[in-house]
Structure 1
Amino acid sequence: MMARNGLIGASLRAAALVSAAALLAGCATTAAFRDGELAAQVEDWDSAVEYYRQAVQDDPQNAEYRVALHRAMINAAREHYARAEALEETGALVEAVRAYRRAGELDPGNNDALYRAAELERAIRDRIEASRSRAPIEDMRDVASRAADPPLLEPSSGEPLSLRFVDQSVQDILDFIGNATGVNINFDQQFQDRQYSVQLDGVTVEEALDQILMANQYFYKVLGPRNVIVVPDTPQKRLQYEDQVIRTFFVSHTDVTELATLLQQIIRGGAPTPVQPQIVPNGLSNTITVRATPAVTAVIERVIAANDRPRAEIIVDIEILEVNRERTRAFGLDLSQYSIGAVFAPDAA
Protein backbone atom coordinates (compact mmCIF):
# COMPACT_ATOMS: atom_id res chain seq x y z
CA MET A 1 0.00 0.00 0.00
CA MET A 2 2.81 2.38 0.88
CA ALA A 3 4.57 1.58 -2.42
CA ARG A 4 1.37 2.35 -4.28
CA ASN A 5 0.96 5.67 -2.50
CA GLY A 6 4.58 6.55 -3.26
CA LEU A 7 4.08 5.81 -6.94
CA ILE A 8 0.97 7.98 -7.10
CA GLY A 9 2.76 10.82 -5.33
CA ALA A 10 5.69 10.71 -7.74
CA SER A 11 3.32 10.70 -10.71
CA LEU A 12 1.45 13.71 -9.37
CA ARG A 13 4.66 15.63 -8.82
CA ALA A 14 5.83 14.83 -12.35
CA ALA A 15 2.49 15.91 -13.82
CA ALA A 16 2.63 19.14 -11.87
CA LEU A 17 6.10 19.91 -13.14
CA VAL A 18 5.11 19.13 -16.74
CA SER A 19 2.07 21.39 -16.41
CA ALA A 20 4.22 24.16 -15.01
CA ALA A 21 6.69 23.78 -17.86
CA ALA A 22 3.88 23.91 -20.41
CA LEU A 23 2.53 27.01 -18.72
CA LEU A 24 5.95 28.64 -18.88
CA ALA A 25 6.27 27.74 -22.57
CA GLY A 26 2.83 29.21 -23.23
CA CYS A 27 3.84 32.39 -21.45
CA ALA A 28 6.99 32.64 -23.55
CA THR A 29 5.01 32.19 -26.78
CA THR A 30 2.44 34.70 -25.63
CA ALA A 31 5.25 37.15 -24.88
CA ALA A 32 6.64 36.85 -28.44
CA PHE A 33 3.19 37.38 -29.93
CA ARG A 34 2.55 40.28 -27.56
CA ASP A 35 5.83 41.92 -28.59
CA GLY A 36 4.82 41.46 -32.22
CA GLU A 37 1.50 43.16 -31.55
CA LEU A 38 3.26 46.09 -29.89
CA ALA A 39 5.65 46.45 -32.84
CA ALA A 40 2.72 46.31 -35.26
CA GLN A 41 0.92 49.08 -33.39
CA VAL A 42 3.84 51.46 -33.99
CA GLU A 43 4.22 50.13 -37.58
CA ASP A 44 7.65 48.68 -36.91
CA TRP A 45 6.90 45.91 -39.36
CA ASP A 46 10.39 44.42 -39.57
CA SER A 47 10.45 43.84 -35.81
CA ALA A 48 6.87 42.59 -35.91
CA VAL A 49 7.85 40.00 -38.52
CA GLU A 50 10.63 38.69 -36.29
CA TYR A 51 8.41 38.48 -33.19
CA TYR A 52 5.56 36.81 -35.07
CA ARG A 53 7.97 34.31 -36.59
CA GLN A 54 9.13 33.41 -33.09
CA ALA A 55 5.54 32.94 -32.00
CA VAL A 56 4.76 30.73 -35.02
CA GLN A 57 7.86 28.63 -34.42
CA ASP A 58 6.76 28.06 -30.83
CA ASP A 59 3.18 27.23 -31.82
CA PRO A 60 2.99 26.30 -35.53
CA GLN A 61 -0.67 25.27 -35.29
CA ASN A 62 -1.88 28.64 -34.03
CA ALA A 63 -3.81 30.20 -36.93
CA GLU A 64 -3.90 33.64 -35.28
CA TYR A 65 -0.10 33.74 -35.18
CA ARG A 66 0.22 32.73 -38.83
CA VAL A 67 -2.27 35.37 -39.97
CA ALA A 68 -0.47 38.05 -37.97
CA LEU A 69 2.87 37.01 -39.48
CA HIS A 70 1.48 37.17 -43.02
CA ARG A 71 0.00 40.62 -42.41
CA ALA A 72 3.29 41.92 -41.00
CA MET A 73 5.29 40.52 -43.94
CA ILE A 74 3.02 42.23 -46.48
CA ASN A 75 3.28 45.58 -44.69
CA ALA A 76 7.04 45.24 -44.30
CA ALA A 77 7.34 44.46 -48.02
CA ARG A 78 5.40 47.63 -48.86
CA GLU A 79 7.71 49.69 -46.68
CA HIS A 80 10.83 48.28 -48.32
CA TYR A 81 9.36 48.82 -51.79
CA ALA A 82 8.57 52.47 -51.02
CA ARG A 83 12.06 52.93 -49.60
CA ALA A 84 13.56 51.35 -52.73
CA GLU A 85 11.66 53.79 -54.96
CA ALA A 86 12.94 56.74 -52.92
CA LEU A 87 16.52 55.44 -53.09
CA GLU A 88 16.22 54.92 -56.84
CA GLU A 89 15.12 58.53 -57.32
CA THR A 90 18.18 59.78 -55.45
CA GLY A 91 20.51 57.59 -57.52
CA ALA A 92 21.44 55.20 -54.71
CA LEU A 93 20.99 52.19 -56.96
CA VAL A 94 22.88 49.63 -54.88
CA GLU A 95 20.79 50.37 -51.78
CA ALA A 96 17.65 50.42 -53.92
CA VAL A 97 18.43 46.94 -55.26
CA ARG A 98 18.77 45.63 -51.71
CA ALA A 99 15.46 47.18 -50.70
CA TYR A 100 13.67 45.76 -53.76
CA ARG A 101 15.17 42.33 -53.05
CA ARG A 102 14.03 42.51 -49.44
CA ALA A 103 10.52 43.45 -50.55
CA GLY A 104 10.49 40.44 -52.86
CA GLU A 105 11.64 38.14 -50.07
CA LEU A 106 8.90 39.32 -47.73
CA ASP A 107 6.23 39.19 -50.43
CA PRO A 108 7.15 36.50 -53.01
CA GLY A 109 4.11 37.47 -55.06
CA ASN A 110 5.50 40.96 -55.68
CA ASN A 111 7.01 40.30 -59.11
CA ASP A 112 7.45 44.01 -59.75
CA ALA A 113 9.98 44.28 -56.93
CA LEU A 114 12.09 41.48 -58.38
CA TYR A 115 11.81 42.99 -61.87
CA ARG A 116 12.93 46.42 -60.65
CA ALA A 117 15.87 44.85 -58.81
CA ALA A 118 16.99 43.08 -61.99
CA GLU A 119 16.64 46.28 -64.05
CA LEU A 120 18.71 48.28 -61.59
CA GLU A 121 21.39 45.61 -61.48
CA ARG A 122 21.61 45.85 -65.27
CA ALA A 123 21.88 49.65 -65.03
CA ILE A 124 24.67 49.32 -62.47
CA ARG A 125 26.60 46.97 -64.77
CA ASP A 126 26.18 49.42 -67.67
CA ARG A 127 27.53 52.26 -65.53
CA ILE A 128 30.55 50.20 -64.57
CA GLU A 129 31.25 49.32 -68.21
CA ALA A 130 30.88 52.96 -69.28
CA SER A 131 33.26 54.16 -66.57
CA ARG A 132 36.04 51.81 -67.59
CA SER A 133 38.91 53.38 -69.49
CA ARG A 134 39.29 52.45 -73.14
CA ALA A 135 41.49 49.39 -73.52
CA PRO A 136 44.68 49.78 -75.61
CA ILE A 137 43.52 46.93 -77.81
CA GLU A 138 40.57 49.04 -78.96
CA ASP A 139 42.94 51.78 -80.16
CA MET A 140 45.00 49.17 -82.01
CA ARG A 141 41.87 47.90 -83.73
CA ASP A 142 40.88 51.41 -84.83
CA VAL A 143 44.32 52.07 -86.32
CA ALA A 144 44.27 48.77 -88.21
CA SER A 145 40.75 49.44 -89.47
CA ARG A 146 41.61 52.90 -90.80
CA ALA A 147 44.73 51.60 -92.53
CA ALA A 148 42.73 48.96 -94.42
CA ASP A 149 39.74 51.10 -95.38
CA PRO A 150 39.12 51.21 -99.16
CA PRO A 151 38.83 54.62 -100.88
CA LEU A 152 35.45 56.30 -100.61
CA LEU A 153 33.53 58.00 -103.37
CA GLU A 154 33.34 61.77 -102.84
CA PRO A 155 31.16 63.38 -105.54
CA SER A 156 31.45 67.12 -106.07
CA SER A 157 27.72 67.52 -105.52
CA GLY A 158 25.88 65.90 -102.66
CA GLU A 159 22.44 66.80 -103.99
CA PRO A 160 20.02 63.86 -104.38
CA LEU A 161 19.57 62.61 -107.92
CA SER A 162 16.31 62.26 -109.85
CA LEU A 163 16.52 60.11 -112.97
CA ARG A 164 13.92 59.31 -115.65
CA PHE A 165 15.12 57.38 -118.69
CA VAL A 166 13.13 55.19 -121.07
CA ASP A 167 14.95 52.78 -123.38
CA GLN A 168 18.19 54.66 -123.10
CA SER A 169 21.75 53.43 -123.35
CA VAL A 170 23.19 52.30 -120.02
CA GLN A 171 26.43 54.08 -120.86
CA ASP A 172 24.56 57.32 -121.58
CA ILE A 173 22.71 57.05 -118.26
CA LEU A 174 25.99 56.52 -116.40
CA ASP A 175 27.63 59.41 -118.24
CA PHE A 176 24.74 61.64 -117.16
CA ILE A 177 25.25 60.59 -113.53
CA GLY A 178 28.98 61.27 -113.81
CA ASN A 179 28.44 64.74 -115.27
CA ALA A 180 25.85 65.60 -112.60
CA THR A 181 28.05 64.55 -109.69
CA GLY A 182 31.56 65.26 -110.95
CA VAL A 183 32.52 61.57 -110.89
CA ASN A 184 34.61 60.11 -113.71
CA ILE A 185 33.01 56.84 -114.83
CA ASN A 186 35.25 54.44 -116.72
CA PHE A 187 34.30 51.16 -118.38
CA ASP A 188 36.01 47.79 -118.50
CA GLN A 189 37.00 46.63 -121.98
CA GLN A 190 34.41 43.84 -121.81
CA PHE A 191 31.60 46.26 -121.04
CA GLN A 192 28.68 45.81 -123.45
CA ASP A 193 26.10 48.55 -123.71
CA ARG A 194 22.36 47.85 -123.72
CA GLN A 195 19.02 49.66 -123.51
CA TYR A 196 17.55 50.28 -120.08
CA SER A 197 14.66 52.18 -118.48
CA VAL A 198 14.90 53.64 -115.01
CA GLN A 199 13.08 56.09 -112.73
CA LEU A 200 14.70 57.16 -109.46
CA ASP A 201 13.90 60.07 -107.17
CA GLY A 202 15.98 61.50 -104.32
CA VAL A 203 18.81 58.95 -104.37
CA THR A 204 22.53 59.29 -103.77
CA VAL A 205 25.08 58.59 -106.47
CA GLU A 206 26.01 55.30 -104.78
CA GLU A 207 22.37 54.18 -104.67
CA ALA A 208 21.86 55.08 -108.33
CA LEU A 209 24.98 53.20 -109.43
CA ASP A 210 24.07 50.15 -107.33
CA GLN A 211 20.55 49.86 -108.72
CA ILE A 212 21.38 50.49 -112.37
CA LEU A 213 24.46 48.26 -112.46
CA MET A 214 22.92 45.42 -110.45
CA ALA A 215 19.91 45.35 -112.78
CA ASN A 216 22.27 44.99 -115.75
CA GLN A 217 24.71 42.53 -114.12
CA TYR A 218 27.54 44.98 -113.58
CA PHE A 219 29.34 46.29 -110.53
CA TYR A 220 31.61 49.24 -109.96
CA LYS A 221 34.87 49.68 -108.13
CA VAL A 222 35.97 52.95 -106.56
CA LEU A 223 39.43 53.85 -107.81
CA GLY A 224 39.60 57.19 -106.06
CA PRO A 225 37.40 59.88 -104.50
CA ARG A 226 35.99 60.79 -107.95
CA ASN A 227 36.88 57.83 -110.13
CA VAL A 228 35.02 54.55 -110.63
CA ILE A 229 35.18 51.75 -113.17
CA VAL A 230 32.18 49.73 -114.34
CA VAL A 231 32.87 46.00 -114.71
CA PRO A 232 30.79 42.94 -115.75
CA ASP A 233 29.70 41.04 -112.64
CA THR A 234 31.38 37.69 -113.22
CA PRO A 235 33.56 35.59 -110.89
CA GLN A 236 36.59 36.23 -113.06
CA LYS A 237 36.11 40.00 -113.00
CA ARG A 238 35.40 39.98 -109.27
CA LEU A 239 38.66 38.15 -108.73
CA GLN A 240 40.45 40.61 -110.99
CA TYR A 241 39.08 43.85 -109.57
CA GLU A 242 38.12 43.28 -105.98
CA ASP A 243 40.85 44.30 -103.58
CA GLN A 244 42.25 41.92 -101.04
CA VAL A 245 43.04 43.41 -97.66
CA ILE A 246 44.96 41.83 -94.82
CA ARG A 247 43.76 42.61 -91.32
CA THR A 248 44.99 41.36 -87.98
CA PHE A 249 42.40 41.37 -85.22
CA PHE A 250 43.53 41.36 -81.61
CA VAL A 251 41.41 39.14 -79.39
CA SER A 252 41.16 39.75 -75.66
CA HIS A 253 38.59 37.43 -74.12
CA THR A 254 37.81 34.60 -76.55
CA ASP A 255 39.82 31.58 -77.64
CA VAL A 256 41.18 32.48 -81.09
CA THR A 257 40.87 28.92 -82.43
CA GLU A 258 37.20 28.70 -81.50
CA LEU A 259 36.56 32.18 -82.92
CA ALA A 260 38.33 31.32 -86.19
CA THR A 261 36.21 28.17 -86.52
CA LEU A 262 33.06 30.24 -85.99
CA LEU A 263 34.14 32.71 -88.70
CA GLN A 264 34.86 29.93 -91.18
CA GLN A 265 31.45 28.38 -90.55
CA ILE A 266 29.75 31.73 -91.15
CA ILE A 267 31.67 32.31 -94.39
CA ARG A 268 30.94 28.80 -95.69
CA GLY A 269 27.26 29.12 -94.79
CA GLY A 270 26.80 32.33 -96.78
CA ALA A 271 26.53 32.96 -100.49
CA PRO A 272 29.53 31.72 -102.50
CA THR A 273 32.10 34.41 -103.22
CA PRO A 274 34.63 34.49 -106.08
CA VAL A 275 37.45 35.21 -103.63
CA GLN A 276 37.50 32.88 -100.64
CA PRO A 277 38.73 34.62 -97.49
CA GLN A 278 41.61 33.19 -95.52
CA ILE A 279 41.34 33.15 -91.73
CA VAL A 280 44.42 32.24 -89.70
CA PRO A 281 44.41 32.18 -85.87
CA ASN A 282 47.59 32.74 -83.86
CA GLY A 283 47.39 31.33 -80.36
CA LEU A 284 50.73 32.79 -79.24
CA SER A 285 49.80 36.41 -79.92
CA ASN A 286 46.05 35.77 -79.49
CA THR A 287 45.24 37.30 -82.88
CA ILE A 288 43.31 36.38 -86.01
CA THR A 289 44.70 37.41 -89.39
CA VAL A 290 42.25 37.70 -92.28
CA ARG A 291 42.84 38.08 -96.01
CA ALA A 292 39.61 38.94 -97.80
CA THR A 293 37.74 41.63 -99.67
CA PRO A 294 36.91 44.82 -97.75
CA ALA A 295 33.22 43.88 -97.59
CA VAL A 296 33.91 40.42 -96.16
CA THR A 297 36.52 41.86 -93.80
CA ALA A 298 33.95 44.31 -92.46
CA VAL A 299 31.57 41.42 -91.72
CA ILE A 300 34.35 39.49 -89.98
CA GLU A 301 35.20 42.54 -87.89
CA ARG A 302 31.61 42.84 -86.67
CA VAL A 303 31.47 39.14 -85.79
CA ILE A 304 34.72 39.36 -83.82
CA ALA A 305 33.55 42.47 -81.96
CA ALA A 306 30.27 40.76 -81.06
CA ASN A 307 31.96 37.61 -79.72
CA ASP A 308 35.14 38.97 -78.13
CA ARG A 309 33.54 40.00 -74.86
CA PRO A 310 34.26 39.18 -71.23
CA ARG A 311 32.57 36.01 -70.10
CA ALA A 312 29.50 36.58 -68.00
CA GLU A 313 30.02 36.27 -64.28
CA ILE A 314 27.43 35.37 -61.71
CA ILE A 315 28.13 36.53 -58.19
CA VAL A 316 26.13 34.69 -55.58
CA ASP A 317 26.15 35.63 -51.92
CA ILE A 318 25.53 32.50 -49.89
CA GLU A 319 24.79 32.46 -46.20
CA ILE A 320 24.50 29.04 -44.60
CA LEU A 321 22.36 28.92 -41.52
CA GLU A 322 21.89 25.85 -39.39
CA VAL A 323 18.36 25.78 -38.08
CA ASN A 324 17.03 23.23 -35.64
CA ARG A 325 13.27 23.33 -35.54
CA GLU A 326 13.06 20.51 -33.02
CA ARG A 327 13.35 22.11 -29.64
CA THR A 328 14.21 19.80 -26.81
CA ARG A 329 12.08 20.47 -23.84
CA ALA A 330 13.01 18.64 -20.66
CA PHE A 331 10.68 19.39 -17.81
CA GLY A 332 9.83 17.47 -14.64
CA LEU A 333 11.39 14.39 -13.19
CA ASP A 334 13.37 11.80 -15.04
CA LEU A 335 11.37 8.79 -13.90
CA SER A 336 13.91 6.41 -15.40
CA GLN A 337 16.05 7.02 -12.34
CA TYR A 338 13.43 5.49 -10.12
CA SER A 339 12.40 1.86 -9.88
CA ILE A 340 9.40 0.38 -8.19
CA GLY A 341 9.47 -3.23 -7.17
CA ALA A 342 6.63 -5.44 -6.01
CA VAL A 343 6.55 -9.03 -4.91
CA PHE A 344 3.47 -11.13 -5.42
CA ALA A 345 3.26 -14.00 -3.01
CA PRO A 346 0.29 -16.31 -3.55
CA ASP A 347 0.78 -17.84 -0.16
CA ALA A 348 0.42 -14.42 1.49
CA ALA A 349 -2.85 -13.87 -0.27
Structure 2
Amino acid sequence: MRPMDFSKRKNAFPSYLIFLSMLLFLCSCAGSSAFKRGKKLETLKNYDEALQSFEQALKNDPRNHEYRLYYERARFEAAIAHFDQGRRLREAGNLEESLAEFQRASAIDPSNSLAAQEVRSVQKMIQDRQKVQEAEKKKLGEIVEKNKVNGTREILNPTLTTSINLKLTKDLKTAYETIGKLGGINVIFDSDLGQKLQTQTPLELNSVTIIEALDLLALQTKTYWTAVNKNTILVATDNQQTRQLYEEQIIKTFYLGNSLAATDLAETITMLRARHTRQNCHGGKSFAVHR
Protein backbone atom coordinates (compact mmCIF):
# COMPACT_ATOMS: atom_id res chain seq x y z
CA MET A 1 0.00 0.00 0.00
CA ARG A 2 2.79 2.44 0.84
CA PRO A 3 4.50 2.22 -2.55
CA MET A 4 1.11 2.72 -4.18
CA ASP A 5 0.35 5.76 -2.02
CA PHE A 6 3.73 7.27 -2.77
CA SER A 7 3.22 6.61 -6.45
CA LYS A 8 -0.17 8.32 -6.39
CA ARG A 9 1.21 11.35 -4.59
CA LYS A 10 4.12 11.48 -7.00
CA ASN A 11 1.79 11.41 -9.98
CA ALA A 12 -0.44 14.09 -8.43
CA PHE A 13 2.45 16.45 -7.69
CA PRO A 14 2.55 17.96 -11.22
CA SER A 15 -1.18 18.69 -10.91
CA TYR A 16 -0.54 20.64 -7.72
CA LEU A 17 2.16 22.62 -9.45
CA ILE A 18 -0.13 23.39 -12.36
CA PHE A 19 -2.89 24.49 -9.97
CA LEU A 20 -0.54 26.74 -8.00
CA SER A 21 0.89 28.19 -11.20
CA MET A 22 -2.58 28.96 -12.51
CA LEU A 23 -3.54 30.55 -9.19
CA LEU A 24 -0.45 32.73 -9.19
CA PHE A 25 -1.07 33.62 -12.82
CA LEU A 26 -4.66 34.66 -12.12
CA CYS A 27 -3.60 36.77 -9.16
CA SER A 28 -0.88 38.33 -11.28
CA CYS A 29 -3.36 39.11 -14.05
CA ALA A 30 -5.82 40.62 -11.58
CA GLY A 31 -3.07 42.71 -10.03
CA SER A 32 -1.77 43.77 -13.43
CA SER A 33 -5.25 44.78 -14.59
CA ALA A 34 -5.93 46.82 -11.45
CA PHE A 35 -2.48 48.39 -11.71
CA LYS A 36 -3.03 49.47 -15.31
CA ARG A 37 -6.43 50.90 -14.39
CA GLY A 38 -4.85 52.78 -11.50
CA LYS A 39 -2.17 54.30 -13.74
CA LYS A 40 -4.82 55.49 -16.18
CA LEU A 41 -6.90 57.04 -13.39
CA GLU A 42 -3.80 58.68 -11.94
CA THR A 43 -3.09 60.29 -15.31
CA LEU A 44 -6.63 61.72 -15.22
CA LYS A 45 -5.90 63.06 -11.70
CA ASN A 46 -8.67 60.86 -10.30
CA TYR A 47 -6.56 60.05 -7.28
CA ASP A 48 -9.29 58.51 -5.12
CA GLU A 49 -10.17 55.79 -7.62
CA ALA A 50 -6.52 55.39 -8.62
CA LEU A 51 -5.71 54.72 -4.97
CA GLN A 52 -8.41 52.04 -4.82
CA SER A 53 -7.04 50.34 -7.95
CA PHE A 54 -3.45 50.36 -6.69
CA GLU A 55 -4.65 49.02 -3.36
CA GLN A 56 -6.38 46.14 -5.16
CA ALA A 57 -3.26 45.44 -7.22
CA LEU A 58 -1.13 45.41 -4.07
CA LYS A 59 -3.60 43.12 -2.35
CA ASN A 60 -3.24 40.62 -5.20
CA ASP A 61 0.55 40.91 -5.20
CA PRO A 62 1.78 42.22 -1.82
CA ARG A 63 5.46 41.77 -2.67
CA ASN A 64 5.36 43.84 -5.84
CA HIS A 65 7.50 46.89 -5.07
CA GLU A 66 6.24 48.80 -8.11
CA TYR A 67 2.65 48.41 -6.96
CA ARG A 68 3.67 49.61 -3.50
CA LEU A 69 5.40 52.67 -4.93
CA TYR A 70 2.40 53.70 -7.03
CA TYR A 71 0.02 53.05 -4.12
CA GLU A 72 1.96 55.31 -1.76
CA ARG A 73 2.22 58.03 -4.38
CA ALA A 74 -1.53 57.91 -5.11
CA ARG A 75 -2.26 58.01 -1.39
CA PHE A 76 -0.15 61.14 -1.05
CA GLU A 77 -1.76 62.80 -4.10
CA ALA A 78 -5.30 61.93 -2.97
CA ALA A 79 -4.68 63.37 0.48
CA ILE A 80 -3.23 66.57 -1.00
CA ALA A 81 -6.17 66.92 -3.42
CA HIS A 82 -8.69 66.72 -0.57
CA PHE A 83 -6.57 69.07 1.54
CA ASP A 84 -6.45 71.71 -1.22
CA GLN A 85 -10.19 71.38 -1.85
CA GLY A 86 -10.79 71.80 1.86
CA ARG A 87 -8.86 75.07 1.88
CA ARG A 88 -10.78 76.40 -1.13
CA LEU A 89 -14.11 75.57 0.51
CA ARG A 90 -13.01 77.12 3.79
CA GLU A 91 -12.02 80.36 2.05
CA ALA A 92 -15.43 80.39 0.34
CA GLY A 93 -17.13 80.07 3.72
CA ASN A 94 -18.42 76.52 3.20
CA LEU A 95 -17.16 75.27 6.54
CA GLU A 96 -19.09 71.99 6.77
CA GLU A 97 -17.96 70.86 3.31
CA SER A 98 -14.44 72.06 4.06
CA LEU A 99 -14.37 69.99 7.25
CA ALA A 100 -15.42 66.87 5.33
CA GLU A 101 -12.53 67.35 2.87
CA PHE A 102 -9.94 67.82 5.62
CA GLN A 103 -11.27 64.75 7.44
CA ARG A 104 -11.01 62.74 4.23
CA ALA A 105 -7.41 63.93 3.71
CA SER A 106 -6.52 62.96 7.27
CA ALA A 107 -8.15 59.53 6.89
CA ILE A 108 -6.24 58.79 3.67
CA ASP A 109 -2.93 59.92 5.13
CA PRO A 110 -2.95 59.88 8.95
CA SER A 111 0.65 61.11 8.95
CA ASN A 112 -0.47 64.43 7.41
CA SER A 113 -0.34 66.65 10.50
CA LEU A 114 -1.52 69.70 8.54
CA ALA A 115 -4.79 67.98 7.64
CA ALA A 116 -5.40 67.04 11.27
CA GLN A 117 -4.62 70.62 12.28
CA GLU A 118 -7.11 71.99 9.73
CA VAL A 119 -9.79 69.59 11.00
CA ARG A 120 -9.44 71.05 14.50
CA SER A 121 -9.29 74.61 13.15
CA VAL A 122 -12.45 74.32 11.03
CA GLN A 123 -14.33 72.55 13.82
CA LYS A 124 -13.56 75.53 16.04
CA MET A 125 -14.65 77.95 13.31
CA ILE A 126 -17.99 76.14 13.02
CA GLN A 127 -18.46 76.23 16.79
CA ASP A 128 -17.57 79.94 16.93
CA ARG A 129 -19.99 80.71 14.09
CA GLN A 130 -22.78 78.86 15.88
CA LYS A 131 -22.11 80.86 19.04
CA VAL A 132 -22.26 84.13 17.09
CA GLN A 133 -25.51 83.09 15.41
CA GLU A 134 -27.05 82.13 18.75
CA ALA A 135 -25.98 85.47 20.24
CA GLU A 136 -27.41 87.35 17.25
CA LYS A 137 -30.65 85.41 17.47
CA LYS A 138 -30.97 86.19 21.16
CA LYS A 139 -30.20 89.90 20.63
CA LEU A 140 -32.60 90.16 17.71
CA GLY A 141 -35.28 88.45 19.77
CA GLU A 142 -34.78 90.99 22.55
CA ILE A 143 -35.07 93.88 20.09
CA VAL A 144 -38.18 92.41 18.49
CA GLU A 145 -39.83 91.72 21.85
CA LYS A 146 -39.13 95.24 23.06
CA ASN A 147 -40.56 96.87 19.94
CA LYS A 148 -43.20 94.34 18.97
CA VAL A 149 -46.67 95.39 17.85
CA ASN A 150 -49.56 93.12 17.02
CA GLY A 151 -51.14 92.45 13.64
CA THR A 152 -50.10 91.55 10.12
CA ARG A 153 -50.14 93.92 7.13
CA GLU A 154 -52.81 95.97 8.88
CA ILE A 155 -50.05 97.51 10.99
CA LEU A 156 -48.97 99.60 7.99
CA ASN A 157 -49.87 103.23 8.70
CA PRO A 158 -49.35 105.46 5.63
CA THR A 159 -49.03 109.18 6.32
CA LEU A 160 -51.35 109.88 3.38
CA THR A 161 -54.87 108.60 4.02
CA THR A 162 -56.78 110.26 1.19
CA SER A 163 -57.30 108.73 -2.26
CA ILE A 164 -54.77 109.42 -4.99
CA ASN A 165 -54.57 109.45 -8.77
CA LEU A 166 -51.28 108.16 -10.10
CA LYS A 167 -49.80 107.31 -13.48
CA LEU A 168 -46.76 105.02 -13.33
CA THR A 169 -44.55 104.79 -16.41
CA LYS A 170 -41.13 103.66 -15.19
CA ASP A 171 -39.69 100.42 -13.81
CA LEU A 172 -41.02 98.22 -11.01
CA LYS A 173 -38.56 99.51 -8.41
CA THR A 174 -39.46 103.13 -9.15
CA ALA A 175 -43.17 102.30 -9.07
CA TYR A 176 -43.03 100.89 -5.54
CA GLU A 177 -40.75 103.68 -4.33
CA THR A 178 -43.06 106.33 -5.80
CA ILE A 179 -46.07 104.94 -3.93
CA GLY A 180 -43.90 104.54 -0.84
CA LYS A 181 -42.81 108.19 -0.88
CA LEU A 182 -46.40 109.37 -1.27
CA GLY A 183 -47.41 107.35 1.78
CA GLY A 184 -44.29 107.91 3.88
CA ILE A 185 -43.37 104.25 3.55
CA ASN A 186 -39.90 102.70 3.41
CA VAL A 187 -39.52 99.93 0.82
CA ILE A 188 -37.32 96.85 1.21
CA PHE A 189 -36.75 94.70 -1.90
CA ASP A 190 -35.92 91.00 -1.83
CA SER A 191 -32.72 90.59 -3.85
CA ASP A 192 -34.28 87.60 -5.66
CA LEU A 193 -36.30 90.11 -7.68
CA GLY A 194 -33.06 90.84 -9.54
CA GLN A 195 -33.61 92.16 -13.04
CA LYS A 196 -37.36 92.19 -12.50
CA LEU A 197 -36.89 95.49 -10.65
CA GLN A 198 -35.89 97.05 -13.97
CA THR A 199 -39.01 95.82 -15.79
CA GLN A 200 -41.12 98.63 -17.22
CA THR A 201 -44.39 98.86 -15.31
CA PRO A 202 -46.98 101.16 -16.92
CA LEU A 203 -49.98 101.47 -14.61
CA GLU A 204 -52.65 104.14 -14.15
CA LEU A 205 -54.40 104.35 -10.78
CA ASN A 206 -57.41 106.53 -10.01
CA SER A 207 -59.06 107.24 -6.67
CA VAL A 208 -57.19 104.60 -4.70
CA THR A 209 -55.62 104.58 -1.24
CA ILE A 210 -51.93 103.89 -0.72
CA ILE A 211 -52.63 100.31 0.35
CA GLU A 212 -54.94 99.78 -2.64
CA ALA A 213 -52.24 101.17 -4.92
CA LEU A 214 -49.72 98.72 -3.49
CA ASP A 215 -52.17 95.83 -3.94
CA LEU A 216 -52.94 96.75 -7.56
CA LEU A 217 -49.25 97.16 -8.38
CA ALA A 218 -48.50 93.77 -6.80
CA LEU A 219 -51.31 92.14 -8.77
CA GLN A 220 -50.16 93.72 -12.03
CA THR A 221 -46.50 92.70 -11.59
CA LYS A 222 -46.95 89.31 -9.86
CA THR A 223 -45.11 90.56 -6.81
CA TYR A 224 -45.97 90.37 -3.13
CA TRP A 225 -45.69 92.90 -0.34
CA THR A 226 -46.06 92.64 3.40
CA ALA A 227 -45.66 95.06 6.28
CA VAL A 228 -42.51 94.89 8.38
CA ASN A 229 -43.58 97.71 10.70
CA LYS A 230 -45.85 100.76 10.65
CA ASN A 231 -43.92 102.53 7.92
CA THR A 232 -41.97 99.78 6.12
CA ILE A 233 -42.94 97.13 3.58
CA LEU A 234 -41.02 94.26 2.05
CA VAL A 235 -41.52 93.42 -1.65
CA ALA A 236 -40.73 89.99 -3.12
CA THR A 237 -41.67 87.69 -5.99
CA ASP A 238 -45.14 86.27 -5.41
CA ASN A 239 -44.85 82.51 -4.96
CA GLN A 240 -45.63 80.02 -2.22
CA GLN A 241 -42.00 79.58 -1.19
CA THR A 242 -41.42 83.32 -0.77
CA ARG A 243 -44.66 83.85 1.14
CA GLN A 244 -43.83 80.99 3.50
CA LEU A 245 -40.31 82.30 4.05
CA TYR A 246 -41.34 85.81 5.01
CA GLU A 247 -44.66 85.13 6.68
CA GLU A 248 -43.48 82.23 8.84
CA GLN A 249 -39.80 82.93 9.40
CA ILE A 250 -39.49 86.70 9.33
CA ILE A 251 -42.68 88.70 9.36
CA LYS A 252 -44.43 86.85 12.21
CA THR A 253 -41.55 87.62 14.55
CA PHE A 254 -40.24 90.89 13.15
CA TYR A 255 -42.90 93.58 13.55
CA LEU A 256 -40.95 96.61 14.71
CA GLY A 257 -42.92 99.61 15.91
CA ASN A 258 -42.18 103.25 15.19
CA SER A 259 -40.73 103.42 18.69
CA LEU A 260 -37.70 101.37 17.58
CA ALA A 261 -34.64 103.02 19.07
CA ALA A 262 -31.84 104.14 16.78
CA THR A 263 -29.37 101.83 18.53
CA ASP A 264 -31.74 98.87 18.11
CA LEU A 265 -32.22 99.68 14.43
CA ALA A 266 -28.46 99.90 13.88
CA GLU A 267 -27.90 96.55 15.62
CA THR A 268 -30.72 94.94 13.65
CA ILE A 269 -29.37 96.13 10.29
CA THR A 270 -25.85 94.98 11.23
CA MET A 271 -27.11 91.48 12.13
CA LEU A 272 -29.21 91.19 8.99
CA ARG A 273 -26.27 92.23 6.83
CA ALA A 274 -24.05 89.66 8.56
CA ARG A 275 -26.66 86.96 7.92
CA HIS A 276 -26.96 88.12 4.34
CA THR A 277 -23.21 87.69 3.82
CA ARG A 278 -23.20 84.19 5.31
CA GLN A 279 -26.40 83.02 3.63
CA ASN A 280 -25.24 84.10 0.17
CA CYS A 281 -22.63 81.34 0.35
CA HIS A 282 -25.51 78.84 0.51
CA GLY A 283 -28.07 80.47 -1.73
CA GLY A 284 -29.87 82.23 1.13
CA LYS A 285 -32.21 85.22 0.98
CA SER A 286 -30.86 88.76 1.16
CA PHE A 287 -32.25 92.26 1.42
CA ALA A 288 -31.83 95.68 -0.14
CA VAL A 289 -33.05 98.56 2.01
CA HIS A 290 -34.23 101.83 0.46
CA ARG A 291 -35.38 104.80 2.49
Q: Same fold (TM over 0.5)?
A: no
Higher-helix-fraction structure: 2
Larger Rg: 1
Greater RCO between the two (CA within 8 Å, min separation 6)? 2
Which band: TM-score by shorter chain?
0.3 to 0.5
